[in-house]
Structure formats: structure tokens, C-alpha cells
């Protein structure tokens, strides 16, 4: 008994289930996906699969391609790819999320199945190797070391020629112009007012704004923004460079990585800053296990 207990890793204080209340909110977003920002995310995942995974899968039909929605929550991507004829599984350690996802699959008579488990246990459960891993909207919920551990587990579960596609939002500095409140109004104005600067100069300006906000937080709360976010659901707002570094350290080859404003047509204030990549809200791409 002691041996089994020792073998089972104890969840870190930053790893926890969001629970039924949070997943009910996700369900509402899913049910309204045709009219909200999820429509762009779903299409983005499909585009990445077609561009970076499909060419390496030997011309197989969708029914012969195994897609796994990693950190699936209510099952959005597993369900959507199942609709397109793929063989899909969604994985999450939140029991409430998995229960909702299973109900949605039954309601729509879809073949998607769901597992309440840690991806680290994939091979021990006699599950097939993964052709396409969809890691959308999961990195921002994990700290760097947790993402690295996830990537190591996922690499072991991938099929030969398998690919991972990913997207994460928000990014490190997007809090400066997104949201509500007086602080955001001030930092958004300051970000807008200097957008005429060259790319290099503007990046320094944004980093300076971020530093000033952190100084203010230290004076008020005694903690930096990163420390305050430790238990937030978006505990890790990333940059392209950090995502690339994490993947490389976990022995993945980065096939494509870019930043963009995926919802630019919904949030017009983003267009004002779009020529500066440091202001982009999404980091997305594809990678291959080495």
C-alpha cells in the first residue's frame, strides 16, 4: 500500500479541479459556440490539423485517425472532431467536466469518448497511440514545469508521425489592454498612445508598462502579478519564446509557431495594436515529438 501511495504523484497546490460551477459556465459557451469566440478557436484547430498533421498521416480517412483533446473540459474539440468523422477521446482530470462531455456526446449521438485521468497514465491504460493531440486552451492553466511534464507524457503517448497542435491565450502582456477597471483604462491608453513606435521601441514600452504595474502591485499587495496569478485559472500567461523553449526542452520539434489576434473581428480594440506582435492575444502552432 505504501509503495502504491509513493508511486502516485501528489497534486501540486496549483493543480486542482475547477468543479461543477465552472464547468457549467463552459457548457453555456459550448452550446452557444456558433455565435461566440469559440467558433474561431474550433476553426483554428481544424486548420492546424489540416496544415500540419494531415500531410504526415499517410492519406488515411478521418475514421482511421485518432485525435485526443488534451485537457478537454466539456469536450469541445473531441466533440467537434468526432462530428467530422475522426476517432476521438477527451482527457481531463475534472470529474464534472468529463460528466458533461459524456452527456453531450450521448445527446448528439457522437462517437467521442472521455476519460477522467492524467495523461501520464495513458500507456498504462492500454490506450492507442495518438495521431493528433489537440492542446488548445490548456497551457495557460499550467505553470511552466507542469507544461513540461505534460509534454513529456504526451510525447510518450504519440504515434509515429503523430503531431500536436496547440493554442494558448491570454499572452503575457494582454492584461494591459484587456478587461475592465481604471487600471486597464490607464494602461490601455498608454499602450494605444505609443503604437506609432517601431516594433523594437514599442516592445520596450510595453515591457516598461508591465514593470510599472508590477511595482504598483508590489507596493499594494506585496506580490508581483505572477505571484498573484498563482491560483488563478489563467495562472500562466505566456510568450512565443517561452512556449518554444518549453517544447524544445521537452524534446519536441516545433514545426510552426506564431502569434495572432484570433478574435480580432470581435474585439475591435485589438486592431489598433495588431502590427505589434507583442500585443497579440494568441500563440498557436504545431509540434512533432523527437
- The pTM of the full predicted model, rounded to 2 decimals, is 0.91
224: phi then psi, degrees, rounded to nearest 5: -80, 170
d(CA 108, CA 81): 13
**H or E stretch at 252:** strand 252-260
End-to-end CA distance of the chain: 36
The count of other CB atoms within 10 Å of the CB of residue 214 is 16
Query: What is the grid cell recorded at 87?
Result: 476517432
Q: Output the CA torsion sign for 94, 97, 98, 99.
A: positive
Whether the Cβ atoms of residue 146 and residue 39 lie closer than 8 Å to each other: no
Name the 3-class secondary structure at 84: coil
Whether the Cβ atoms of residue 286 and residue 166 lie closer than 8 Å to each other: yes
pLDDT on residue 2 = 38
Residues of the chain with pLDDT under 70: 1-17
pLDDT on residue 26 = 87
Task: Name every residue whose Cβ is closer than 8 Å to that of residue 89 and which is 6 or more positions away in sequence.
Answer: 66, 67, 68, 69, 78, 112, 113, 114, 115, 127
**H or E stretch at 3:** helix 2-7
**Domains of the chain, each with CATH number or no CATH:** 18-172+237-289 (3.40.50.150), 174-228 (no CATH)
Amino acid at each position: 500500500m505504501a509503495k502504491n501511495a509513493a508511486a502516485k504523484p501528489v497534486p501540486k497546490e496549483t493543480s486542482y479541479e475547477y468543479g461543477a460551477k465552472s464547468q457549467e459556465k463552459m457548457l453555456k459557451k459550448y452550446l452557444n459556440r456558433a455565435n461566440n469566440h469559440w467558433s474561431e478557436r474550433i476553426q483554428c484547430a481544424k486548420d492546424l490539423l489540416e496544415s500540419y498533421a494531415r500531410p504526415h498521416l499517410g492519406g488515411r480517412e478521418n475514421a482511421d485517425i485518432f485525435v485526443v483533446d488534451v485537457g478537454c473540459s466539456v469536450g469541445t474539440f473531441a466533440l467537434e472532431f468526432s462530428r467530422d468523422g475522426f476517432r476521438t477521446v477527451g482527457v481531463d482530470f475534472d470529474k464534472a467536466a468529463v460528466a458533461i462531455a459524456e452527456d453531450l456526446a450521448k445527446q448528439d449521438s457522437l462517437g467521442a469518448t472521455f476519460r477522467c485521468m492524467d495523461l501520464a497514465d495513458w500507456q498504462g491504460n492500454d490506450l492507442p497511440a495518438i495521431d493528433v493531440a489537440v492542446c488548445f486552451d490548456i497551457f495557460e492553466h499550467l505553470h511552466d514545469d507542469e507544461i513540461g511534464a505534460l509534454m513529456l507524457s504526451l510525447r510518450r503517448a504519440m504515434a509515429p508521425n503523430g503531431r500536436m497542435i496547440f493554442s494558448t491565450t491570454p499572452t503575457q502582456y494582454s492584461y494591459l489592454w484587456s478587461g475592465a477597471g481604471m487600471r486597464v483604462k490607464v494602461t490601455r491608453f498608454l499602450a494605444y498612445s505609443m503604437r506609432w513606435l517601431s516594433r523594437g521601441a514599442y516592445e520596450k514600452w510595453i515591457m516598461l508598462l508591465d514593470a510599472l504595474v508590477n511595482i504598483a502591485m508590489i507596493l499594494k499587495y506585496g506580490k508581483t502579478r505572477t505571484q498573484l496569478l498563482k491560483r488563478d485559472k489563467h495562472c500562466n500567461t505566456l510568450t512565443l519564446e517561452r512556449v518554444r523553449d518549453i517544447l524544445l526542452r521537452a524534446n519536441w520539434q516545433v514545426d510552426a509557431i506564431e502569434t495572432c489576434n484570433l478574435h480580432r473581428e470581435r474585439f475591435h480594440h485589438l486592431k489598433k495594436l495588431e502590427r505589434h506582435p507583442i500585443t497579440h492575444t494568441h500563440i498557436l502552432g504545431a509540434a512533432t515529438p523527437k
